[in-house]
Amino acid sequence: MAGESLSVASARHLAYAPQYAARELGFFSREGLDVDLVACPVGDTAIIHTLQRGEADLVLGSVLFALRMAEEGLSPRVVAQSNQQTRHWLMARGGSAAPFEWTALSGRSVLVYPNAVPTPWVAFREALVRKGICLDGIGLIIGYSAEQALAEFSRGVGDFLLVDPESVDPRLGLVEAASVAAAIGPVPWSVYCTTSAIAARRENAIAAFRSAVAAAAAWLYASPAAEAAALLAGLFPERGKGELATQVARYVRARLWVADARMDAAQFVTWDAALKRGGLMPRGLDLMQLCGPLFPDGTPS
């Protein structure tokens, strides 16, 4: 007998591994759910429109999805959390970097790798704020294409490269100097959003979905990376099992996923301040208020 159906739209990315693992391991079925994971192009508009067209019940991505939903006349509600940090690092050329200190960035230059969304830049800016570093004291190199950025950095342009290490060919010999996530702490990086109407109507299904994703995150943390890679290999055929295992192991070490899929109010407060400093959140708007009550009973974690 088929379970209750639920459609979830997101960009297709290994960083969202818990939802894929939950399906492959049968955790959704165990919760009485038949979950369709709808792959979308990167970008909030395309993904949010799946809600408007009735093609999805939940969308996974930046917490800014809630802001875009409000702007388009939808009443947003965040119902679960997947990721709790950015994957971006400051990278250096192999053999050229001394032990990294954030204060040493003053007077140095950072080449910024282009990204499809602005939140990694906001996270880096927040890291500078946390470390007491003035943005004006850093030479920022912005404007290269992705391919040119890597080529120019390899040639010697910039002292550090701000990038998701997954975007960098290991053959370039670059090394990870500093994690942006470690500098700012956990934030609600990737969350599941829906409308208030769907949240109320599908409350039980969404609670079951949250339980399944939490179980999958726990499985990923407890299992060998090679086992996770074997489980997910068919979903990411463009990557070899060795590469998948390496990335999953990186995510596990970084504690990328929220173990219980619940939202932490303190993380929302931290990220709200960072988004406002970065110009992505209107100052008259509160992220907690925008996202609605974080749990069905209205209480934070």
- Least confident interval from 38-47, 58-67, 233-242, 262-271: 38-47
Say whether pLDDT at 259 is over 60: yes
88 vs 139: CA distance, rounded Å: 18
> What stretches of the chain adopt beta strand conformation (E)?
4-11, 33-40, 58-61, 76-83, 89-93, 109-112, 139-141, 160-163, 174-179, 190-195
Residue 297: predicted pLDDT: 45
Q: All domains of the chain, ordered by start, with CATH?
A: 4-85+187-290 (3.40.190.10), 89-184 (3.40.190.10)
Please report which helix (H) or strand (E) contains residue 66, including its range.
helix 64-71
State whether residue 257 is helix, strand or coil: strand
Residue 97: predicted pLDDT: 53
Percent of the chain scored above 90 by pLDDT? 75
pLDDT in tens, 163-213: 999 999 888 999 999 999 999 999 999 999 999 999 999 999 999 999 999
Confidence category of residue 301, pLDDT binned at 50, 70, 90: very low
pTM (2 d.p.): 0.92
Confidence category of residue 298, pLDDT binned at 50, 70, 90: very low
- Copy the structure tokens of residue 195: 């409308």
Percent of the chain scored above 70 by pLDDT? 95
Which residue's entry shows tokens 């670059």? 174
Residue 46: predicted pLDDT: 83
CB distance 51 to 194 below 8 Å: yes
- Least confident interval from 132-141, 207-216, 280-289: 280-289
96 vs 106: CA distance, rounded Å: 17
